Structure formats: C-alpha cells, structure tokens
Amino acid sequence: MHRRFADMGLRTALMGGTALLLCLALPQAGFAQDKKPDAEKTEKKDDKSVELRPIDIEALRSITSYEATEGYVSYFSVAATKTDTPAIETPQSVSTIGRQEMEDRGVKTMAEAVRYMPGVTVDNYGVDPRGYDSITIRGFYSSTTGSFRDGLRMDGNAFAAYTTEPYAIERIDVMRGPSGALYGQAEAGGVVDRTTKRPNADMRQEIRVEAGSWDHFQGAFDLGGKASEDGSLLFRLTGLARESNTEFDYNDGTSQDNNRLFIAPSLTWKGDDTEITFLADYMKDSRSPLFNTFANETVGRTGVVAGEPGFDQFHQEQFSIGYALSHRFDETFTFRQNARYFEVKVDYQTVSPNGLSADNRTLNRYVWAAPDDLAQAAIDNQLEARFDLSGMRHTMLFGFDYSRSVDRFDYYSGAASSLDLLNPVYTGAVLPDAPYLSNEQTLTQTGVYIQDQVKLDQWILTLGGRYSWVDMDTDDLLTNTTQSFEDSAFTGRVGLTYLFENGLAPYASFIQGFTPRQGTDLYGQPFEPEDSTQYEIGVKYQPADYNALFTASVYHLTKTNVQTRDPADINNTLQTGEIEVRGLELEAKAGLFRGLDLTAAYAYTDAEVTESNDGNVGLSPVLIPEHTASLWAVYSLQQPELRGLRVGGGLRYVGSAYNDTLNNSKNPDYLLVDALVSYAFNENMTFDLKASNLLDEEYTTTCAFGACYYGPGRWVTAGMTYRW
C-alpha cells in the first residue's frame, strides 16, 4: 500500500533543533572560499550585467580530473578519453553532474543523480528499495556492464552489484553510445563513470543532519585537509548514517526499511612528480525487496502487496580498497595506474506472485531467496605522451587493463501460502532447505588499447582502438560440471571536431562496442558477442563570455547478434536479432546570470526491433519512452536584504512507453515537479528544504509480468549543514 506524504512531526522538529544547537556550539571557523581560476577572472559590467567568465583552459586543466566541478558546468571530461580533454573537444555526447548540483537536488541515489540528463531513463521498475544503480541509456540497460568508478570496471552479477553512495562521489559522467575503444565490454547505450571524493588541501569541511518523509533521519560528515605542515600529505574522511522507511507499507501496515551505514577514508601523498591516493569505503544496508502490487487484465491494479512482512529482506554489505598512482617523467610522458578490489555480499529473500486462481481473488505465491557473494579486482595502466610532430599536437595514450570477478550465487524456491486480494492476511513463509541452483562464475577481461588525439590548427582528430579478451567459467556446484566461454573482439573509434573561434564545435564520430553473451545454442556452439555500432554528429557551444556549455547531437545506434528464437526448433536460440535506435538529444548547462544556475535537456528516442523471429519486427522494445524532457534551475537572490536565500525548481517529463514486446500495453506519460529552498544564515551554516515529486503525482513506471511498479511519491527533507 502506497503511503502518501508522512508528517515529519515532533521527531523532525527535535532533529532540526538538535542540528541548530550543534551548529551554534561549533567554533566559528573562518570561511575559506575555494576559488577556481575562471571565477577569479569574473567581470561585472554593472548591476544588471551577465556574469562573464572567460575560460582559461590551461589554468583549469589541473583541477578537472578528480577535484570539484565548478558550479553546474564541467569544461573537462576525463572519462570520455582517459585524458584531461576539454568537453568541447570530445567527439561524443557526454553529460556531467557535479557536487553542487547533486547537493541542490538532494540526490540520494544514482538514479536521482542522472535523471535530468538527456537520453537517460531511470526507475523502470518504480521505487526500488534495494538501491541498485538502475540506469538505461539510449534504450539499453547499462548498469550491469556499463558501471565504472574512477575509470575502473564495477560489474554486477545476479543480485550482487556494488551500490554507489552519492554523498561520497564528486562527479558523475555519462558517456552515451558504445565505449568499447577504451573500456572493452559494455552495453551499447553507454557507460557511467563515478569519480570518488579525494583529499583536497583547500576543501571546506562539513557536518550535515536532515529529516524527512517516511521517518527519514540521516547524518553525514565530510572532513579533510592537510595532514602535514608542507601539504604533501592530505586526508579525507566521509561518512553517513541513515535510518528510514520507504514510502510503501504492506497491507497490514508493516513498514519497509531503508537503512544505511557508510564510511570512506582516503589519503594522498604528493611529491614533486609523483602522487598516490589510497581509497577505501565500507557500507552496510538493511533494505527491502523490490516493491510491486499485483495486477492483471482481469482484476486490474489491486494495490495488494504480494510480499510477506517479517520475511522479505534485502541486506547488503560491501567494501572496497584501492589506489590511484600518477608519475610525471618529464614534459612528454606521464604514467598512471588505478587499482581497486571490492566485495559485495547480498542476503535476499522475498515472496512473489504466481498467478491468479479461477475465482479472480486468490493470489497464488511462491517464496524464493538468492544469497549472492561477489568479489572483483581491477587494474588499469596508462602511459600518456604529449608531443608535437610535423606541426601537429599529439596526445597519445597507451593502456593495459585487467579485471577478474568471482560470483557465488545460490537460488532457493518453493511454494508459499496464497493471498486473498479482497482481504489480504499475511501468514509467513518458509524457505526450502536445499538450493534449486548453486553456481560460481569467474569472469576475466584483459584489454590493450591505444588512442591518439591529434590537433592541427582548429581541427581535432580522435583515433582509438582496443583489443579485448574475455573468459568466463561457470561451475554448477550441484552437478559438479563447468561451462567455459571465451571470446575476443576489436573495437575502435574515429572522431573529428572543428573548433570555431566563436565557441562552436561541430563534430562527427563512429564508435564500436561489444557485450559477450554466456552460454551455447542447442548444438553446443557458443554464442557470439552482441556487437554495437554508432554514428553520431553533433555540435557543442561554449561561449567565451559566460559560463555555459550547450550540446546537440543526432545518432544512429545499431545492436546486432541479439538472441531470438529459432523458427525451426523452439528449443534453440539464434543470434539473428537486431535493434536500431535513432535519436536527437539536446542539453544545456549554464550559469546565465549572476546567481542563476540551470540544466535543461530533451531527448527523442526512436527504438525499433529490425530483425527478430519473435513476431515483433517493426515494434518498439519495452520501457523506452519516445520523448523525455527536463529543466532544473536555482536562483540565488541578489537583493541585500535577501542575500543567502536560494530558490529552485525542476520539471521532469517522461513519455509513454510500451510494457510488452508485442506493444499491446502502454504505460502512460507523466510530469513531475521538484523544488528547493535554502537559506545561508552566514558563511558557515545553511538550512535547506528539498522536495522530489512535489505535487505527489501517483504514477506507474510499468505494469508487466503480473505486477505494477509505482514511481517514487512526494519526498520532502529538511536539512542543516555546517561548513568551515
């Protein structure tokens, strides 16, 4: 049952009062403004003038890789090229969200972070208390093989997937389209790279408390700075604790948990030519399974939760440890090495619907559990060379990466008691003693890659290629058998950009990708990788006199070797399927006037099954809206008597999308409103009130497979932040 907005009541007031007392008790440390080079060059003509920010690219270069993005606009993108390349010179559609925008919008999940980006859809299965980073880019689900952190692969498998805590992230880059030339195997739609917060000598430290809807209480801190007098040793410690319910209750009134403990220490040593940062984090979650209510064509949407209170659970524990090393040999050569090891342990059990009896009121159910343990190690070595040759400026990159993951997965399944839809009574559930499945899968990927970014006058040519080897062994622990799979592929990229003096930069690119498929056909032949190719043309505009970046692109993306049934043998699968996606994407990130920051996006996505034996040629794949649009803006009031007050709001539109492969059922479109009000009492203390889905629009993101999935309802938080 969907709980509407919950009254924060006395506990919220007490939390706010405690926060205020805490802030007043803290020493009034001096305010250290973290100025960026471009901000120091701001010109002000008069009180009504546009805030002009001429961009000094070379001055910005040193702060763009892993430190804070200034405002809403990011002028560099390391993720798209693995080099510090200006965004306007990157021949690919890339969106970035930095720390300030995440804070303004009160981001709690990866889905919330990227939902204002063009061509990106989230929440396909509604509110997901499990916390998965569920993201679809250009029509393809990208969270399984398209998930990266600090440039390192973070694969998920079965139910174990590394969950991102946004409070520990400095910026997020979404690269749309295949990325096989640098990253190897990844989904066709694109990849997401998260940049971890790192030690900074000039960072402002903070403590934050907040309370909100559904008994949400959270405290967080971000501390750091110099650990030695000369500044060669830096530290940072980020942490968060949350106790909360979700917005959904069982029909007997039992609530669902959404609790988290998180800690992330890091340490940096800086020498004259060498720098190394050690990074670690630990997180423990106590959450709830995926929420759904039963529905079918006969009884419609019932609002009855099919799960079982007291039995349903989703517990996850994870940790990671790694480092980032860089060494500059001279003006030409720089070596970088990034490495990480992580483990994820998931304990997942629930009860799900299993069809309706003939009386159209008795819901049959089954119980299942999926304990899943995942461990992965990854390392990426890069040698960068910058030099001039025959009048051309080269930035060459040579790389070698390796990753290995081991996933242990068990699956239990059995019958559960039925549920009366007209009078639901929960009676508990019991798991069978022995697993139905028990597997251990080992996945290894090795790759070598090379890239050259060549500048000649105003032309920039980007060439890249990678050769990848993938090995996968799946051990069936019940039958003591092993299924092995290995494959290799070459993927390349060609891009061309022209830089006009007025800030316009048209570009064109071609890029390839691949995604290995596990298993064999009926005759024992291993499946080929799914291949993807994309043609993209676009234009970027970076004005010289104010802080903004505008991007427009059109693309044609094709995915081949998609599995489809064999018309000659229903027990066999062929790889003759094909999906094409054509689209238009527009994005604006800007600080147009003094005190105004905004992001706006629109995407038209035309997805079509072009080859298939499943009777769906010419139809749309599921859950891909044709139109999406968004606008978010925040204004800092400039009147002297209102200084410190900021107001903001956003609109998110998601068009209708098909629920089934034969396009018989369609989920309706919806429009959501978000809002922000904040007030800085002084240079140290800020109060904010944030709302997501302010109008409490009730909507479903899909209805399929006997269940309807509701999107997030109104979420309101009040918070206090103390910075020094």
Structure tokens at 412: 């239990």
Closest CA to 623 of 289, 126, 241: 126
Q: Are 237 and 223 in contact (CB under 8 A)?
A: yes
The continuous run of DSSP H or E covering 101 comes out as helix 99-105
Question: In sequence order, which ranges of 581-696 are alpha helices (DSSP H)?
Answer: none
The continuous run of DSSP H or E covering 183 comes out as helix 180-183
Q: How far apart are CA 371 and CA 347, in angstroms?
A: 5
482, β-bridge pairs:
475
Cα→Cα distances 329→64, 134, 334, Å: 21, 41, 6
Q: How far apart are CA 397 and CA 421, in angstroms?
A: 61
What is the identity of the amino acid at 278? F
User: Cα torsion for 309, 310, 312, 315, to the nearest 10°?
Assistant: 140
Q: Are 502 and 529 in contact (CB under 8 A)?
A: no
| Three-state secondary structure readout of 315-339 | EEEEEEEEEEEEEECCCCEEEEEEE
Q: How far apart are CA 622 and CA 659, in angstroms?
A: 5
Level-2 CATH architecture, domain 9-431+452-723: Beta Barrel (2.40)
Q: What's the longest Cα–Cα distance across the chain?
A: 81
Q: How far apart are CA 124 and CA 135, in angstroms?
A: 8
2, β-bridge pairs:
248
Q: How far apart are CA 381 and CA 401, in angstroms?
A: 6
b/e per residue, 666-683, with b = 16+ CB within 10 A? Answer: ebeebebbbbbebbbeeb
* Span 375-388, pLDDT tens digits: 999 999 999 999 99
Q: How far apart are CA 660 and CA 663, in angstroms?
A: 5
Q: Which residue has the tokens 């999926």?
A: 370
Q: How far apart are CA 604 and CA 592, in angstroms?
A: 25
Positions of the chain with pLDDT under 50 = 2-64
Q: How far apart are CA 13 and CA 391, in angstroms?
A: 67
Q: What is the DSSP letter of 119?
A: T
Structure tokens at 179: 């990325």
b/e per residue, 5-31, with b = 16+ CB within 10 A? Answer: bbebeeebeebbeebbeebeeeeeeee
